[in-house]
Chains A and B, each alone.
Chain A
Amino acid sequence: QVQLVESGGGVVQPGRSLRLSCTTSGFIFSDYAMHWVRQAPGKGPEWVAVIGYDGKNDNYLDSVKGRFTISRDKSKNTLHLQMNSLRVDDTAVYYCARDKGNYGSGTVMAFWGQGTLVTVSS
């Protein structure tokens, strides 16, 4: 079965960096686009970034462009999110999610991890 397990969350000061990872299993990782979605406490989900199945294309939420970078390691079936210049309003649970369709550049999120909490606070 499809499994997504996020790691790397924690408490970090504003302006610092954090790298999230998402270890995947149960499907052919290189066949699917992958997303990061975040959810601030008491708020709805907010799409953050997507990377195409082949890693050639990525897209971002405007407020994270230039600060966050999504990447994928085909050899380890792992998705990453490098987060730099973190702000207080980046505080959220960060989910990785697998796209529904294969060989695409991103649509809906069919499978989700359990999330990892990132808290940005001084």
Chain B
Amino acid sequence: EIVMTQSPATLSVSPGESATLSCRASHSISYNLGWYQQKSGQAPRLLIYGASTRATGIPARFSGSGSGTEFTLTISSLQSEDFAVYYCQHYHNWPFGFGQGTKVEIK
């Protein structure tokens, strides 16, 4: 089973600044990684798939990078609606797995 580890657990950022979130896989997953945003009381929302491709309707300030075991989600110029919890998810093999999440909070 591939284990996904996200860091940091919490990120305090001021509006307008950028945020960099990390996700590490316990084994190589090539580019088989997605990122999700979740706000309180809502279902997760797909942001990125294939490690770097934005899903339909996702603003360009969200960007993903990485391959193998190290991945990054960058949110440039944070907007008020971006403060949420972010999860990475691998789909390299079964069982698929999520990281434990990074909470992006207002500084």
* Chain A residues within 8 Å of B, Cβ to Cβ: 37, 44-47, 50, 59-62, 95, 97, 100, 106-110, 112-115
Chain B contact residues: over half helix, strand or loop, or mixed? loop
B43 touches A108 (CB 8 A): no
**A44-B87, A110-B55 known; A60 and B95 CB under 8 Å?**
yes
Does A47 lie within 8 Å of B44, measured CB to CB? no
Instruction: Count A/B pairs, Cβ under 8 Å.
Output: 61
Q: Is the interface of A mostly helix, strand, loop or mixed?
A: strand
Given contacts A44-B87, A44-B99, 6 further A-B contacts (CB under 8 A): A44-B101, A60-B94, A100-B49, A107-B91, A108-B49, A112-B45
Contact size class for B?
Answer: 20 to 34
Which residues does chain A contribute within 8 Å of B67, judged by CB atoms? none
User: B95 contacts A108, CB within 8 Å?
Assistant: no
A100-B46 in contact (CB<8A) = yes
Contact A47 to B97, CB < 8 A, known contacts A108-B49, A109-B44, A113-B43: yes
Given known contacts A44-B101, A100-B49, A61 and B89 CB-to-CB distance under 8 angstroms: no
- On whether A61 and B43 interact (CB within 8 A), knowing A44-B87, A45-B87, the answer reads no
Q: Choose among A45, A59, A108, A114 the residue that contacts B94 (Cβ–Cβ < 8 A).
A: A59
Q: Which B27-73 residues have a C-beta within 8 angstroms of A? A: 32, 34, 36, 38, 43-46, 49, 55-56
The answer to whether A106 and B91 touch across the interface, beta carbons within 8 angstroms, is yes
Query: Hey, which bits of chain B sit against chain A, CB under 8 A?
Result: 1, 32, 34, 36, 38, 43-46, 49, 55-56, 85, 87, 89, 91, 94-101
A47, A100, A108, A114: residue with the most chain B Cβ atoms closer than 10 Å:
A108
CA distance A41 to B82 in the complex (A): 22
Q: Which of A45, A46, A97, A106 has the most CB of B within 10 A?
A: A45
